[in-house]
Structure 1
Amino acid sequence: MGQQPVPTSLTSAVTREIDSALAGVDAELARRYPGDPGTRQPVHTVYVPADAFAADTVTDWGRRALAALDAHAPDAPALAAVLGLPDRLATAVHDRVRAKLRREPVEDLRIDFEDGYGRRPDAEEDAAAARAARLVAETTAQGTAAPWVGIRMKCMEAAVRDRGVRTLDIFLTGLMEAGGLPEGLRLTLPKVTYPEQITAMVRLCEEFEKARALPAGRIGFEIQIETTQSILGPDGRATVARMIDAAQGRATGLHYGTFDYSASCGVSAAHQSPDHPVADHAKAVMQVAAAGTGVRLSDGSTNVLPVGPTEQVHQAWRLHHRLVRRSLARAYYQGWDMHPAQLPTRYAAVYAFYREGLEEAAARLTAYVRRAGGQVLDEPATAKALSGHLLRGLDCGALDADEVTGSTGLDRPALDHLAGRGPTVN
């Protein structure tokens, strides 16, 4: 017996009229809010002054990070005691941290031509930019470069604008002359205050692409948020949202600048920290502005470095570990590291965060897929977040594919689908 028609009152013409009326909105939503790109995001960015950058910077940071670990927390119980890691996580986290420092100690490297480099004679900065391009090309070809690498240029303010543009041109031209732009190229534009400065950066990218016959849109850039004007404009609107729009799809990230932003708010030096209330406000505005756009977020840094006697190192480690954990809980999955001895606590915090969430995320995701209910009734948005947690854990090396599949019954394509990253899984 066939299914009986369900009575309705509206004609199909009404639906077509609504579709037509909302076609522009549909297109605008798709353009402005494409969602997460579904690719791996680095857990940190390491800043190195341009004159200190060398071919062995990545491996040198790994060696120095391991030396700090050996000196101040040589085994799993010692590291767990310093950071307060649960016993059940201590060995796995410690072992993964050591392996990471040997294999890939730096995920994202930024060669700094701004505050970390300062004002130099033009000939000196020209040479440093050309040298940076040569070393990036050489290490990329050798497989010893960080997966993501690039420069932070000087900003678009009048006093240093020409210098910043010239350094960018020299660096990109040097890469092209050496064989092309690396896949993991990252460029950072600092001290942005007006959307028009983003428009100018877009123009530079467009002109370089034309000059070098590159595909349109090949060059993207990060926007560094470190001025009050980048959060709230003189008209009372959230400037950062306008900056993302002005980037015309080229913005890859928003990076919070702890110390410049804090200083611009009048925070005294002793209280400038990523967990200060002015930092939380700025980052909350950044987070809402970037949501759904595919533009990723990065927290800033702490200037309390783990150097000196063991107790001093331990104090700095505990602070850094707490700040990284705090950022992760607030959905800031990336941050800045300024010293090799910060790498052990960066990876310890990241690995513990994803490993301690594995069991609950797996159980809730399995229940969702099976529609089994349980103590928490999850919705599709929550399933998306749960699968995203597991995917980030896989991407950074905190979790292994076998243990995730074993605990959820889901392989990578299935997780990608639930997170809205891949094709439908049958």
Structure 2
Amino acid sequence: MADGRERLLDSLDVALGAVDARYAAAYPGLRAERQPVHTVYVPVDRYDADTVRSWGAQAQDTFSRYVSGAEDLADIVGIEPTLAREVLPLVEAKLAAEPIEDLRIDFEDGFPQAGIAPGGRDADEDAHLVRAARALRATPNPTPFSGIRVKCLEPAVRARAVRTMDMFLAEIADNGSLPAGFVVTLPKVTASEQVAAMVTVCEYLESNHGLTTPLRFEIQIETPQSVCGPDGTAQVASMIHAAQGRCSGLHYGTYDYSAACGIAAEYQAMDHPVADHAKATMQVAAAGTGVLLSDGSTNRLPVGAADEIRAAWSLHARLVDRSLRRGFYQGWDLHPAQLPTRYAATFAFYRRSFESAAARISTYLARTEGGFLDEPATVRALASFLHRGLECGALTDSEVRERAGVTPGRLGELAGFTRQEGHFE
């Protein structure tokens, strides 16, 4: 009987070997790399070496002027006063030490070219490009993540997109190395063939500039065609796999996508049903691939009179919390005054559930009875939650060790990360 079972297993290995290999390659699982909580988009003509410091200073100034204390923060963000007392000093420290986690120098929508004669467009962008690239390289305290958003690969701007990437890399590549966490954002993708073409571009650029690490890119999901192709399939899934492992993330574009779906400007928002449908499709397509997800932005800016700033803050905090609850741990910020509520809502999200998540992991590891009967899949989610809280600064190593009873390294193992980086080295 045993010999027969062994022969059966051998035949199954032969029959399923190719399927096993394809699945392992296509769905490598969670990546251990830190994911930024946001991406800040700055038009290339407005970026300089002082941008990060300036954004932090503006954010700190607005926060101190319009938030009188923890009770006031609780009212604005919509959190418990006790939680606000924990969050307030964390936000103040974050704005002082690391106001921007991920910086994207924008050569697409944010770069005005209206009124420039056709022959002068390349020269104008080239001049801004060289200045911005040199400023990024010279910045004494760079952001943990950075990159550029280029124009798309549609015929009218394809050459400009490639030219921008080529020239920018020429300025910032240092003996084959790029800044840590550097990516290129590819907007307005409508077909997986464009993603495959981006892979070809990346291969050329790596060779041309002698890069020693793979050049990775993000795909912006801001066209209906990326969600539903002409044959009715979810194109975004094929786009991820067409990237051949180079796609680091999917970024939802709130306003381009909403407008393309015919939503009136007044109702275009991150929480509109068309947005939720697109993001749910992105979420399913990216599951298990290691590709990170980012929600979009709100264009309601915290500027003007005090009541206008507070109303915009409340909206922003609610939308950030909504995204986090739905598994989108990153979003876009477009203005320095959005940073306080980005961090306040994010820190509150992790600290609110910290005690419960830590206790459940501790109970699971001790094999004792608690209020939950957690399976390994849920424990992976709990560990990943604590990992994210650690990486963004909402939680500390000592808190996690004390409450969950695990080291950061063990936490990474429980989360099922494919390789150990960041806190998990």
Do Structure 1 and Structure 2 share a fold, with TM-score over 0.5?
Answer: yes
The equivalent position to 2:86 in structure 1, one of 89, 92, 96, is: 92
d(CA) in 1 for partners of 2:174 and 2:379? 46
What is the RMSD computed on CA atoms of the aligned residues? 1.7
Q: 1:330 offset after TM fit, Å? A: 0.3
Q: Secondary structure at the match of 1:293?
A: coil
Q: Does 1:50 align with 2:44?
A: yes
Q: Does 1:63 align with 2:63?
A: no
Q: 1:270 offset after TM fit, Å? A: 0.2
Question: What is the TM-score with the length of structure 2 in the denominator?
Answer: 0.95
d(CA) in 2 for partners of 1:353 and 1:299? 16
In structure 2, what residue type is equivalent to 1:63?
Answer: A
Aligned identity (percent) is 55
Partner of residue 232, structure 1: 228
- 246-255 or 114-123, which moves further after superposition? 114-123
Alignment of 1:135-150 (within 5 A): 135-139=135-139, 142=140, 144-150=141-147
The equivalent position to 1:36 in structure 2, one of 18, 21, 30, is: 30
Q: Provide Cα deviations, 1:350-388, integer angstroms capped at 9, x if missing partner.
A: 000000111110111111111213222110000000011
d(CA) in 2 for partners of 1:375 and 1:255? 37
In structure 1, what residue type is equivalent to 2:97?
Answer: R
d(CA) in 1 for partners of 2:223 and 2:345? 28
Partner of residue 288, structure 2: 292
Name the structure, 1 or 2, with higher relative contact order (CA <8 Å, separation 6+). Answer: 2
d(CA) in 2 for partners of 1:321 and 1:214? 40
Q: 1:111 offset after TM fit, Å? A: 0.5
d(CA) in 2 for partners of 1:187 and 1:373? 48
- 263-272 or 370-379, which moves further after superposition? 370-379
Q: Does 1:408 align with 2:404?
A: yes
The equivalent position to 1:164 in structure 2, one of 152, 161, 167, is: 161
Partner of residue 18, structure 2: 24
In structure 1, what residue type is equivalent to 2:266?
Answer: A
In structure 2, the CA distance between the partners of 1:292 and 1:45, relative to structure 1 (3 Å rule), is same
The equivalent position to 2:346 in structure 1, one of 350, 357, 367, is: 350
In structure 2, the CA distance between the partners of 1:376 and 1:309, relative to structure 1 (3 Å rule), is same
Q: Work out whether residues 416 and 422 of structure 1, in 8 Å CA contact, stay in contact via their aligned partners in 2.
A: no
Question: What is the TM-score with the length of structure 1 in the denominator?
Answer: 0.94
In structure 2, the CA distance between the partners of 1:23 and 1:91, relative to structure 1 (3 Å rule), is same
d(CA) in 2 for partners of 1:246 and 1:219? 15
d(CA) in 2 for partners of 1:305 and 1:13? 66
Partner of residue 124, structure 1: 124
In structure 1, what residue type is equivalent to 2:189?
Answer: V
In structure 2, the CA distance between the partners of 1:177 and 1:125, relative to structure 1 (3 Å rule), is farther
Q: 1:212 offset after TM fit, Å? A: 2.4
Alignment of 1:276-355 (within 5 A): 276-355=272-351
In structure 2, the CA distance between the partners of 1:125 and 1:277, relative to structure 1 (3 Å rule), is same
d(CA) in 2 for partners of 1:267 and 1:385? 35
Question: Which structure 1 residue ranges, 4+ long, deviate > 3 Å from structure 2?
Answer: 7-10, 177-180, 422-425
In structure 2, the CA distance between the partners of 1:179 and 1:418, relative to structure 1 (3 Å rule), is closer
Structure 1 alignment gaps of length 5 or more: 1-6
In structure 2, what residue type is equivalent to 1:87?
Answer: P
- 362-371 or 378-387, which moves further after superposition? 362-371
Q: 1:11 offset after TM fit, Å? A: 2.2
- 15-24 or 254-263, which moves further after superposition? 15-24
Partner of residue 187, structure 1: 184
Q: Work out whether residues 248 and 292 of structure 2, in 8 Å CA contact, stay in contact via their aligned partners in 1.
A: yes
Partner of residue 82, structure 1: 76
In structure 2, what residue type is equivalent to 1:206?
Answer: E
Q: Secondary structure at the match of 2:256?
A: helix
Q: Provide Cα deviations, 1:66-119, integer angstroms capped at 9, x if missing partner.
A: 111111103222211222221221122000000000000000000101011133
In structure 2, the CA distance between the partners of 1:368 and 1:282, relative to structure 1 (3 Å rule), is same
- 274-283 or 70-79, which moves further after superposition? 70-79
In structure 2, what residue type is equivalent to 1:131?
Answer: R
In structure 2, what residue type is equivalent to 1:138?
Answer: A
d(CA) in 1 for partners of 2:232 and 2:39? 31
Structure 2 alignment gaps of length 5 or more: none
Q: Work out whether residues 221 and 252 of structure 2, in 8 Å CA contact, stay in contact via their aligned partners in 1.
A: yes
In structure 1, what residue type is equivalent to 2:361?
Answer: L
The equivalent position to 1:375 in structure 2, one of 371, 375, 383, is: 371
Q: 1:196 offset after TM fit, Å? A: 1.0
Q: Work out whether residues 299 and 334 of structure 1, in 8 Å CA contact, stay in contact via their aligned partners in 2.
A: yes
d(CA) in 2 for partners of 1:253 and 1:373? 39
d(CA) in 2 for partners of 1:46 and 1:423? 27
Q: Work out whether residues 354 and 389 of structure 1, in 8 Å CA contact, stay in contact via their aligned partners in 2.
A: yes
Q: 1:178 offset after TM fit, Å? A: 8.1
Q: 1:208 offset after TM fit, Å? A: 1.2
d(CA) in 2 for partners of 1:128 and 1:199? 29
The aligned length equals 415
In structure 2, the CA distance between the partners of 1:188 and 1:423, relative to structure 1 (3 Å rule), is closer
Q: Does 1:213 align with 2:216?
A: no
d(CA) in 2 for partners of 1:286 and 1:54? 33
Q: Provide Cα deviations, 1:187-245, integer angstroms capped at 9, x if missing partner.
A: 10000001111111111100111222324x61000000000000000011110011111
In structure 1, what residue type is equivalent to 2:88?
Answer: H
The equivalent position to 2:219 in structure 1, one of 223, 229, 236, is: 223
Q: Work out whether residues 31 and 419 of structure 2, in 8 Å CA contact, stay in contact via their aligned partners in 1.
A: no
The equivalent position to 2:109 in structure 1, one of 109, 115, 133, is: 115
Partner of residue 102, structure 1: 96
Q: 1:325 offset after TM fit, Å? A: 0.2
Q: 1:25 offset after TM fit, Å? A: 1.2
